[in-house]
Structures are given as C-alpha cells and as structure tokens.
C-alpha cells in the first residue's frame, strides 16, 4: 500500500514539473535556460528562495559584461561616457581610482522594487555573494550601455566620498528626459523603489 501511495505521489510531482516546464517554454524560456538550474547549484538555490518567498522579497537582477581600464584617469572615464551633465564633485581627488590594469567583469543590476536604505542593500548583496560596484565600474557600465540609466537610476555603493562635513556620498547614473547625467547622492537615507544597484559577483 505504501509503495502504491509513493508511486502516486511521484507521478503527481512529475506531472506538475512537466506542466511547469511547458508553461515556462510557452512564456519564452529556452531549453538552454531550463538546463541552468540542473547544472548550477547556486541557481537552484536562488530559484528555491524566490519560489518560497512568493516571488516578492528577492531582488531581480540583470547581467551585463563590461571592461574596466584602471589605467585611465577618472576624467577620461567620464569623458568616454559622454554625459550631458556631471556633478563637479565627482573628481579624482574625491574618488581616487583604485585597482590595476584592464579587467573584464560581469556586473548585475539589482532592483528590489521597494524602498530600502543603503546598509540593508549592501547587506543583502553580501548575503547573495555580491559586492557593490565601484565608480570606475559604474562609468564603464554607463559608457557601454548608454540607455540603461534612462530607464531608471543606477547606483554604485563601492566608492564613497567623505565630505568635510562628515556626510558620505555615492555616485549614480541618472537622466533628465533624454539627457544622461552623473550625480551624487547621500549614503544615508532611503532609496525609493525606482533605483537599481550595480553589483559584481564575488
């Protein structure tokens, strides 16, 4: 009797899984993408956490490839980005370039869809194996993906300017209509749900 019940449960699980896969394919997911959770245990963990949360509490992320050349001056990095306006306090003096040589990275745009403070965002990134992007990484992203900041602002917590007043500032890519801009924002306070945050997997 127990064996019959176990077989019925197994058949039910397989049926649900088959239906789930069918609907994901119909929604546009490729066979290659379906293979990813099978091959990648981290991906499996992220999917389980997402499902268990009801799909609301985990951040969504998009992955992009960038090239960062730390041999370039900050001024040149900004010039390459061709911004329409730049906060004058974003300078080599306030944000010295750290790192060496040219580096290729995959960066992630994390979007929480709710208001959060800086500390909670950085803590959440760390819990998922991410670190905040630096200003050079933000500038490399801005130069490579010109239109992304027009969709919503993009913040880099990895480089912080401590002003003489004791306030801390971080840079973000924003827009004003069609214009692309490079701003500063206080570290302290709350970021509303429209912001996205650039991160690098550790």
Task: Provide the residue-wise pLDDT of the chain in tens; the chain has 202 residues.
Answer: 556 555 555 566 466 667 766 766 666 556 666 666 676 655 555 565 555 444 434 456 689 999 999 999 999 999 999 999 999 999 999 999 998 899 999 999 999 999 999 999 999 999 999 999 999 999 999 999 999 999 999 999 999 999 999 999 999 999 999 999 999 999 998 999 999 999 999 8
Query: pTM higher than 0.85, yes or no?
Result: no
d(CA 89, CA 171): 10
C-alpha separations of 176 from 19, 25, 75, 83, 148 in Å: 45, 38, 22, 11, 13
């Amino acid at each position: 009797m127990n064996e019959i019940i176990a077989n019925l449960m197994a058949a039910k699980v397989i049926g649900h899984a088959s239906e789930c896969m069918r609907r994901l394919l119909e929604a546009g997911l490729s066979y290659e993408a379906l293979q990813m959770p099978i091959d990648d245990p981290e991906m499996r963990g992220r999917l389980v956490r997402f499902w268990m949360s009801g799909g609301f509490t985990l951040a969504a992320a998009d992955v992009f490839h960038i090239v960062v050349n730390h041999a370039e001056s900050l001024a040149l990095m900004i010039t390459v980005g061709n911004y329409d306006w730049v906060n004058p306090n974003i300078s080599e003096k306030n944000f010295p370039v750290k790192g060496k040589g040219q580096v290729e990275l995959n960066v992630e745009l994390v979007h929480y869809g709710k208001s959060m403070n800086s500390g909670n965002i950085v803590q959440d990134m760390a819990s998922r194996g991410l670190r905040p992007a630096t200003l050079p990484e933000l500038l490399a992203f801005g130069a490579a993906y010109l239109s992304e900041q027009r969709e919503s602002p993009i913040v880099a917590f990895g480089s912080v300017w401590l002003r003489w007043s004791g306030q801390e500032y971080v840079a973000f890519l924003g827009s004003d209509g069609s214009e692309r801009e490079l701003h500063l924002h206080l570290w302290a306070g709350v970021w509303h749900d429209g912001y996205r945050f650039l991160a690098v997997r550790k």
